[in-house]
Structure 1
Amino acid sequence: MTTQELTWAARAGAVRPVTDAVIGGELAAARSGRRRDSINPATGTVLAQVSECGAEDIDAAVLAGRAAFESGSWSQADPGSRKRVLQRLAELIVANADELALLDTLDAGKLISDTTQVDVPGSAAIIQWYAEAIDKLYGEIAPTASTELALVTREPLGVVGAVVPWNYPLEMAVWKLAPALAAGNSVVLKPAENSPLSALRLGQLALEAGLPEGVLNVVPGDGPTAGRALGLHPDVDALTFTGSTEVGKLFLQYAGASNMKQVWLECGGKSANLVFPDVADLDAAAEAVCAGIFTCGGQVCSANSRLLVHESIKDALLERVVARAEAIRVGDPLDESSQMGPMVSAEHADRVMGLIEVARGEGRIRTGGDRVAGSPTSAFLQPTVVDDIAPDARIAQEEVFGPVLAVFGFGDEREAVTLANGSSYALAASVWSDSHSRVHRVAQRLRAGTVSVNCVDALDVTTPFGGFGLSGFGRDLSLHALDKFTGLKTTWHHHN
Structure 2
Amino acid sequence: MGALYMGNKPLLHVDQRVSVVVEQLLRLLHHCGAPPTDVDLLHGPGTTMGDVLKGAEPRSTLFTGSQRVAERLAVELHGKVFLEDAGFDWKILGPDVRDLDYVAWQCDQDAYACTGQKCSAQSILFAHSNWVIAGLLDRITDLATSRKLSDLTVGPVLSWTTKSILDHTKRLLQIPGAKLLFGGKPLSGHSIPEVYGAVEPTAVFIPLEQALLPEHFGVVTTEVFGPFQVVTEWQDGQLPQVLDACERMSHHLTAAVVSNDINFVQHVLGNTVNGTTYVGIRARTTGG
- Superposed CA offset, 1:339-380 (max 9, x none): 1112126x6333222211212212211211110233333532
- Asked if 1:367 is matched to 2:186, the reply is no
- C-alpha distance in 1 between matches for 2:75 and 2:143: 44
Q: Aligned pair 1:189/2:3, yes or no?
A: no
Q: Does 1:357 align with 2:170?
A: yes
Which of 237, 255, 258 is residue 429 of structure 1 equivalent to? 255
Contact 1:352 1:400 in 2 (8 A): yes
Deviation for aligned residue 1:437: 3.4
Alignment of 1:324 with 2:143, yes or no, is yes
- Equivalent residue for 2:222, pick from 398, 411, 424: 398
Counterpart among 254, 278, 285 of residue 457 in structure 1:
285
Aligned to 1:339: 153
Indicate the RMSD between aligned Cα atoms, in angstroms. Answer: 2.7
Per-residue Cα deviation, 1:44-91 (whole angstroms, up to 9, x for no partner): xxxxxxxxxxxxxxxxxxxxxxxxxxxxxxxxxxxxxxxxxxxxxxxx
Residue of structure 1 equivalent to 2:99: 281
Structure 2 unmatched ranges of 5 or more: none
SS at match of 2:174: helix
State the shift of 1:205 in Å. 6.3
How far does residue 242 in structure 1 lie from its aligned partner after superposition? 1.1
Higher-Rg member (1/2):
1
Q: Offset of 1:243 from its aligned partner?
A: 1.5
In the superposition, the TM-score normalised over structure 2's length comes to 0.82
Aligned partners of 2:110 and 2:286 also within 8 Å:
no
Relative to 1, partners in 2 of residues 1:201 and 1:373: Cα closer, same or farther, differing over 3 Å? closer
Structure of higher RCO (CA pairs closer than 8 Å, 6+ residues apart): 2
Establish whether residue 230 from structure 1 lines up as the match of residue 43 from structure 2.
Answer: no
Indicate if the aligned counterparts of 1:343 and 1:402 stay in contact, CA closer than 8 A: yes
SS at match of 1:431: strand
TM-score relative to the length of structure 1:
0.50
Quote the offset at 1:273 in angstroms: 0.8
Answer whether contact 2:120 2:254 (CA < 8 A) is retained.
Answer: yes
| Cα distance in structure 2, aligned partners of 1:348 and 1:231 | 29
Kept in 2: contact 1:371–1:380 (CA 8 A): yes
Q: Identity percentage over the alignment?
A: 25
Amino acid in structure 2 at the alignment position of 1:190: H
Distance 1:282 1:210, change over 3 A: closer
Describe how 1:74-473 pairs up with structure 2 within 5 A: 174=1, 178=2, 180-193=3-16, 194-195=18-19, 196-201=22-27, 204=30, 209=34, 216-225=39-48, 227-255=49-77, 260=78, 262-315=80-133, 316-328=135-147, 330-332=148-150, 337-344=151-158, 348-362=161-175, 363-377=178-192, 379-389=197-207, 390-391=211-212, 392=214, 393=216, 394-411=218-235, 412=237, 413-453=239-279, 454-458=282-286
